[in-house]
Amino acid sequence: MKKYLLILRREQGFALITAIMMLFVATILGLLVMNSSETEIILSGAQQRYERNFNTAEGASSAEAAAVGTAATITRTIGGTSYSRSYVVVNPSLHDQVLSPNKSHSSLFDPGNDMTADNSATEYTVDLNTPSDQWPMENLLHSDTVGDNGLDYHYRVAYLYGTAPPKGYDATKFSGYRFQISAQRTALIELGGSKVGPK
């Protein structure tokens, strides 16, 4: 019996030290899990913002494409006055025409006054080489309310060139017209295609 008591005396505080070490390890693991959770929340928030911006740009490009090559007119009311824009190609022999508003100080260029002061300080003309942050701006809801700014986007519609009509069309009466429709809100969406119309 004395032998066992001697062994126990030599292990003074061993259980306490082991418990403290285990608590320390558990605390470190808990902190690592918390940091991992925070990182996952940040990543999922970034993914959600990207998807929202992507969907806005995709919806914007589709909305602009719906008016290309048709008689459709997009009407916007700014300060009680109605303005309209359409994508009619007046002279098909002029290639690389920007059909969307291309003068930075026109009424339809930035109806919500959302563009930064850097871009609006001097007047410029949009062409095919203009950076996307200097394209005209619109809102999917045609709203000027600050609360709807999450649906603002930059866009550019350009007529590129005429081409032969697809099979089945009389080439003496019809022609193909190639367009490029671009919309940007963090993500850039570009659509392209031909419309068929009279020569």
Bridge partners of 75, per DSSP, are: 84
| Extents of the domains making up the chain | 48-198
- Residues 6 or more apart whose Cβ sits within 8 Å of residue 155: 60, 61, 64, 100, 135, 136, 137, 138, 181, 182, 183, 184
Contact 118, 131 (CB under 8 A): no
In this prediction, residues 72-81 reach a mean pLDDT of: 79
Question: In this predicted model, which residue has the larger pLDDT, 14 or 173?
Answer: 173
pLDDT tens across 137-158, in order? 998 888 888 888 888 999 999 9
What tens digit of pLDDT does each residue of 98-120 get? Answer: 988 888 888 788 887 777 655 55
110 touches 126 (CB < 8 A): no
Specify the residue for token string 């930075």: 104
Give the CA-trace dihedral at 129, 132, 134, 138, to 10 degrees. Answer: 130
pTM passes above 0.95: no
Q: What is the pLDDT of residue 120?
A: 56
User: Cα–Cα distance between 176 and 55 in angstroms, integer?
Assistant: 29
pLDDT at res. 69: 65
pLDDT band at 7 (very low <50, low <70, confident <90, very high): low
Average pLDDT over residues 79-108: 84
Instruction: Identify the residue with better confidence: 164 or 126.
Output: 126
Q: What pLDDT score was predicted for residue 177?
A: 84
Of the candidates 76, 45, 47, which has an alpha carbon nearest to the alpha carbon of residue 155? 76
Place of tokens 């009509």: 165
